[in-house]
Copies of this chain bind each other. A is one copy, B any other.
Amino acid sequence: MSEPKETPPSKLSNLAVRVLTSLVVVPVLLLLLFVVPWWGFFALGLIAVPIAAQELTGMTMAAQKLQQAWAILASLGVYAALYFSPTAEMLAGLLVAVVAIGFFVALVQPHPIETAALRMGWLVATPLYAGGLLASLAILHTLEDGGAWCALAMMLAWFGDTGAYFAGKGFGKRQLYAAISPKKTIEGAFGGLAGSVVAAVSMHFIALDQMSIWHAVILGLVAGAAGQAGDLTISLVKRSANVKDSGWIVPGHGGLLDRIDGLVMTSAVTWAYAAILLPKLS
């Protein structure tokens, strides 16, 4: 799956490594979500955001280190700004600065010219993706029942992955999106949606009864679809940049992006539901 240079060699099967990694990661996440004070989960973002930004810029502006450094810094800025949600004016100012300074930084290393426009786009898109979408997960944690909402966003993504994996293995026949992810099947996608619905309905019973069962079903479908689409978007970047894995940070899982490309989208949808829609509906 991955090139030897990029992932540590291992005699364990990929699935076994993934399971072992999960055995470490999941308890840490649970501690950060439910036990450690607010700054613990926020600080996890301060680690994840620059890694995600580094992986994205590693694909889109690999040779331009200064531009990568700026994009990473700007991603942290967007993450912190959205999290601490200052005034709307400050946020607007930050946005204007992100696009203006990002473009100026592009001028410092304009070569090769043919790909300069690609870098300019990603000097703006990277902070919004890595900083903005991960902020939606961090903000979710600050809501009432924040730990449970975050756990839900994660379950929506990872139950979805798991459902897709097994449904695809068992029944997969028709390709979902051959151009960029030839192994994914329509049957797998439906299994993924089912997994996400199971995640949401479970959380209704476990900790989030303010979300009705019907809401849970709809959220499972919408966030599950968004998560799967989010997975495809990063596959599209990788394929367009001719890269196989976005990184090597998570043993057995490839890069961090490969692990969170669905999660950032389920987070965004869960946040929109929990912070904006639900208060208006109830």
Contact = CB atoms under 8 A, between A and B. Distances in A.
Interface stretch (A16-24, A121-129, A251-259): A121-129
Contacts of A106: 233, 236
Contacts of A118: 117-118, 121, 240
A167 interface: no
A136 interface: yes
A280 B278 CA distance: 38
A14 interface: no
Given A121-B120, A132-B95, A100 B265 contact: yes
A44 interface: no
A30 interface: no
A227 B173 CA distance: 56
Nearest to A92: B82
Nearest to A139: B92
Max count, chain B CB within 10 A of own CB: residue among A78, A100, A276? A100
A48 interface: no
Contacts of A88: 85-88, 90-91
18 contacts: A82-B95, A89-B276, A91-B92, A95-B132, A96-B136, A98-B128, A99-B128, A103-B129, A107-B229, A107-B232, A107-B236, A113-B180, A116-B239, A116-B240, A120-B237, A120-B240, A121-B121, A121-B125
Interface of A: 59-60, 78, 82, 85-93, 95-100, 102-104, 106-107, 110-111, 113-125, 128-129, 132-133, 135-136, 139, 177, 179-180, 226, 229-230, 232-233, 236-237, 239-241, 265, 268, 271-272, 275-276
